[in-house]
Structure 1
Amino acid sequence: MSSGSMSEDDFVASDYEDGFDSQEEDSDMEYEQTEDIGFSDMVTEKQRQKAYEVDFTVLPLTEIQAAQASASNHVAGILGVTQDQAAALLRSFKWNKERLVERYMDHAQEILDQSGVVLDDTKLRLIKRPKGFVCMICFDDSPNGGAVGLRCGHVFCQACYDQYLTQKIIEEGECRKILCPETGCNVVIDEPTIKSVVQPSVMERYHQLQDRAYVEDLDNLRWCPAPNCENAVECRLPHSSFTTIVPTVLCGCGYKFCFGCGQGDHQPAPCGLVKMWQKKCADDSETANWISAHTKECSKCQSTIEKNGGCNHMTCRKCKYEFCWVCMGPWSEHGTSWYNCNRYEESSSTDARDQQAKSRASLERYLHYYNRFANHEQSAKLDRDLYMKTEKKMEEMQRTSDLSWIEVQFLKKAVDVLTSCRMTLRWTYAFAFYLARDNMTELFEDNQRDLEVAVEALSELLEKPIEKEKIPELRQQVLDKTVYVGSRREVVLEDTAKGLADGRWDFFVEFGKV
């Protein structure tokens, strides 16, 4: 388990101060108890120091399982049931212990039935086939073999029950409530029955699904989305605050992501703006914008018309309305000016021209931000290729100088910072797209420009070939540029985060939590 609010800038600075010996955990972190979900004294949180940081805790799978066991034992002692029965009850209430105990005291049997918990399990699981038994799934009437029945009285052969449960668990990923195979029966199959029927590998998957469901049921927990990572992250910020802060967390596996929406780090843009921007880039809205910029609508029936000749006298094919392509006014008002419109001040055509101009301006504005957004995304992908080149450069430096492997790590750290700053720059353009124009926007763009200039300077420096006699000079330049780039990124993130918290930014759209 690890906890804290480490930023990229802290990462860079600490490495330089400690001779590039990366420190992933802080031994001086303060601890606080979180008894409501069973982590007790294991959970730690570090006091947030920067406006764009949030407090979080990384929890490995073993601690997730320990938290479930702790909560189950606690409830089992209160209700007088077994730990497995308590766990099943808690899953039905999404691990809300207080609500479960309160409801159980008043409606015990109802809660047991809804949760699929049977206190007297001697009547359950494998039984002998009764006389005249016919499995209503496979219609096997053989007296030999086992059968499975629940308190509802519906009995099926063991093979069909095994196949049914295996499909529910393996193929459908069900673990909360698996109902009796009988059509229309709402009796829940309890865990002891499942365990007695399915193969051990299926039961193992069942428990894995229960672990995943535990994290998904709690608002302050989220699984790390990185492939093959089994860590979860705890963040106690209320979801209502995600419009004023971007809750970026760093998993123990090294993957940085947004706790609010589960996507990769998108600071400084809040989740709501990110969702709107992605939709705008992905759907057909910009295709429609292009059509609007290159075509016009008939003033009478609103059919879309594309000009295919030089004549300005247009006739709508749908409604036969005649109008002027230049001013969009009725052609009947043009007199003898058949092909040369000079009527730019008439009210009948001004609105149409304004709408066309706004459409073109809207498209140009969108493309301005989108092209820069996409450019930094592409540059970040190319910068990742620097990792392989950087390793070769590091090996070359060792061969041609007296620097140790630790001392040449500055190149790799520089690429890490460069990639992180590219991602930040990428999302500053999505952020800026929705900003209303004012003095604060100009200040934001100044900070954005300074970061962009610094990033390009560092990128250019890292692309330079290594000259043996200039290695000490190159090393110092890279160190200085890396620290400066990190500081400019911090300025951008700090300013935008404080502006969100203070309500200083004026957006021309409304966005809510995701």
Structure 2
Amino acid sequence: MDSDDDLYYYDDEEEEAMEDDDDGGGAAWQDEVEGDDPLPSMERPPGVLERLDSDSIESDVFTSWSSLVLWAIKKESLSVAQQQDLSMVMGVFNIKQHHARALLIHYRWNTFRLNDHLERKGQDRMLMEAGVVLSRENNKMAAPSPPPASTTKKQPSRKKTKKKKEASCNVCFEDFSPHSMSAMDCGHSFCDACWTGYFVSAIGGGNKQVRCMEFKCPAIVDEEVVQHFLGRKDPAMAERFQDLLLQSYVDDNSAVKWCPSVPHCGRAIRVASGELEVEPLCEVECPCGVSFCFRCAAATTHSPCPCAMWERWDAKGRGEAENTSCNRFKEEEKKKVDDAKRQLRRYEHYYKRFESHRLSCTVEREKIGPAVARRVEELESHDSILIKDASWLSGAHRSLLACRRALAQSYVFAYYMFDAEETATVPPPEKGSLSMAQRQSLFEDYQEQVEGNVEKLSELLGKDVIDMPDEDIVKVRQNAVNLVRVVETHCRKMYGCIQDELLPMLVEPMSIASFQPGGPSKAAELPA
């Protein structure tokens, strides 16, 4: 990479599989590294993960300033967040709430994709693909934005048959008066008893959306109608249906994930951006303190190791992957036994380094962290203006933890990347380009630089600066700022080497979350 601010270009092919009839194919996922401020994390507001342009980007690659806004949503705030999206779609498409929900679930609550497809496909085609069947009344007049189902007093929009004589139900084959028959938006009519039994069965099976009973009818029944029938028959089932509707905002939403904390903190994290068309690839921190990968929802951050590699490593650590012990090869030929021993030694080599840095990170968080916090408090009470600004100390500690974690997880990446038996690779794409051995050497050089400077920074932060003379404290501060700049620079280069030189060599496409100097961005609490 030519500069520390080079663009990380993520080529994501997920969009190609989403819609076979899309004109543009896959969408490029781009993440840019952040600026060269030695302590950028100190000025970054909570809840925002900035993705910046680079002046070194070629002119034919267009990017724009944007941000990922992170919200932590408690269960009591889910309905508020959900209603915001529902109201927006109801207004744009002039449809009822249950139709808006069906449309949003079909597009995984991605309003950017929904608006994009509205321009390219048109409203009628989108509604048809989502299984939305509008009643005649809905086509003639605007549907006002109703309040949430739990507070509305409006009668459910079911239709009674207009015939005055008795009608036959095609489910139970009994004859009923018009007042005991109900028709839905699609026009299909059945007796109230059959509708009620059908709704109880559907909600009992965990369905968030209930379609018409008519054979092959795709129409989705109005939520208020379902609530009306369930409320008379089984109030507990009606409450479960309401919970399922709220749950759909997380389970069917590509931009919302439950925090993987154990025990669960009761929060879901929403990554909001007007530019994302695919599931966000970033690492976030919940207000409860748990950090995790948003793409795979792993209960820890693992960048610069791709999600697929981390899942294999985690499974191996839990004993769910293949056993690397050579005992299973006792009766096989010597070559296979030697290969098994080699793989075992290789795994031990990378695991020891991974575990060593992981334990160092734990010590730096649990022991050095509180000590740094105490020193910050004492320095802030100092008489000298030059000394009392101790933000450099806490910022350096955050940078230390972020780079230490990245260093530990880089060994997991190396374990899978540089073994043809573990990961399939392709030959260099162009004649004269770097060979795999050269790329590995480049990566290991950056890794070594990060490792050496991380140890220096850890040693520096372990010193007690409180009893030092003022001029010595100033020197320590300058050394810390310089070390932070150096270690973050090499960390960026290591990330860039992985993304630009190594991941393109894989047969299976993979990407990594961009480097975040101050650690994962913390989500802000969404107001209830």
Quick check: TM above 0.5? yes
Q: Does 1:426 align with 2:443?
A: no
Aligned length: 397
Q: Does 1:397 align with 2:397?
A: no
> Within 5 Å, which residues of 2 pair with 1:218-297?
221-223=255-257, 225=259, 228-234=267-273, 247-248=281-282, 258=293, 260-263=295-298, 264-285=300-321, 287-292=323-328, 296-297=330-331
* Structure 2 Cα separation of the partners of residues 282 and 210 of structure 1: 31
Q: Does 1:384 align with 2:402?
A: no
- One-letter code of the match for 1:208? L
Paired residues of 1:147 and 1:157 also in contact (CA < 8 A): no
Report the CA distance shift for 1:270/1:359 in structure 2 as closer, same or farther (over 3 A): same
Secondary structure of the residue that 1:215 maps to in structure 2? coil
- One-letter code of the match for 1:422? R
Structure number with greater Rg is 1
Report the CA distance shift for 1:56/1:64 in structure 2 as closer, same or farther (over 3 A): farther
Paired residues of 1:398 and 1:405 also in contact (CA < 8 A): yes
Report the CA distance shift for 1:224/1:417 in structure 2 as closer, same or farther (over 3 A): farther
Report the CA distance shift for 1:179/1:99 in structure 2 as closer, same or farther (over 3 A): same
- Partner of residue 321, structure 1: none
Paired residues of 1:410 and 1:475 also in contact (CA < 8 A): yes
Q: CA deviation at 1:368?
A: 0.5
* Structure 1 Cα separation of the partners of residues 52 and 136 of structure 2: 43
Moved more, 352-361 or 91-100: 91-100
* Structure 2 Cα separation of the partners of residues 432 and 104 of structure 1: 45
Higher RCO (Cα < 8 Å, 6 or more apart): 2
- Partner of residue 327, structure 1: none
- One-letter code of the match for 1:393? R
* Structure 2 Cα separation of the partners of residues 235 and 260 of structure 1: 18
Which residues of structure 2 form unaligned runs of 5+?
Answer: 1-29, 58-62, 74-79, 108-113, 138-155, 161-165, 172-179, 420-435, 512-528
Q: Does 1:75 align with 2:93?
A: yes
Paired residues of 1:148 and 1:157 also in contact (CA < 8 A): no
Q: Does 1:370 align with 2:351?
A: yes
- Partner of residue 483, structure 2: 481
Q: 1:156 aligns with which of 193, 206, 215?
A: 193
Secondary structure of the residue that 1:382 maps to in structure 2? helix
Q: CA deviation at 1:183?
A: 13
Q: 2:508 aligns with which of 507, 511, 514?
A: 511
Q: What is the root-mean-square deviation in Å for CA atoms of aligned residues?
A: 5.1
Q: CA deviation at 1:153?
A: 1.6
- Partner of residue 53, structure 2: 47
Secondary structure of the residue that 1:468 maps to in structure 2? coil
* Structure 2 Cα separation of the partners of residues 366 and 9 of structure 1: 36
Deviations 1:302-354 (A, max 9, x none): 5xxxxxxxxxxxxxxxxxxxxxxxxxxxxxxxxxxxxxxxxxxxxxxxxx333
- One-letter code of the match for 1:488? H
Secondary structure of the residue that 1:58 maps to in structure 2? strand
Deviations 1:424-480 (A, max 9, x none): 112211221122561221221121111111111211222233451243343333223
Secondary structure of the residue that 2:193 maps to in structure 1? strand
Q: TM-score, normalised by structure 2?
A: 0.58
* Structure 2 Cα separation of the partners of residues 186 and 102 of structure 1: 15
Q: CA deviation at 1:490?
A: 1.7
Q: CA deviation at 1:487?
A: 1.9
Paired residues of 1:166 and 1:202 also in contact (CA < 8 A): yes
Q: 2:103 aligns with which of 79, 90, 94?
A: 90
Report the CA distance shift for 1:268/1:115 in structure 2 as closer, same or farther (over 3 A): same
- One-letter code of the match for 2:123? V
Q: Does 1:440 align with 2:479?
A: no
* Structure 2 Cα separation of the partners of residues 104 and 451 of structure 1: 50
Q: CA deviation at 1:48?
A: 5.8
> Within 5 Å, which residues of 2 pair with 1:135-146?
none
Secondary structure of the residue that 2:69 maps to in structure 1? strand
Q: Does 1:58 align with 2:69?
A: yes
- One-letter code of the match for 1:193? V
Secondary structure of the residue that 2:68 maps to in structure 1? strand
Q: CA deviation at 1:498?
A: 2.2
Report the CA distance shift for 1:403/1:485 in structure 2 as closer, same or farther (over 3 A): farther
Q: CA deviation at 1:75?
A: 2.2
Moved more, 281-290 or 424-433: 281-290
Secondary structure of the residue that 1:231 maps to in structure 2? strand
Deviations 1:187-218 (A, max 9, x none): 743222134455797676455334335633xx
Paired residues of 1:248 and 1:265 also in contact (CA < 8 A): no
Q: Does 1:211 align with 2:211?
A: no
Q: TM-score, normalised by structure 1?
A: 0.60
* Structure 1 Cα separation of the partners of residues 101 and 409 of structure 2: 43
Of all paired residues, the percent bearing the same amino acid is 18
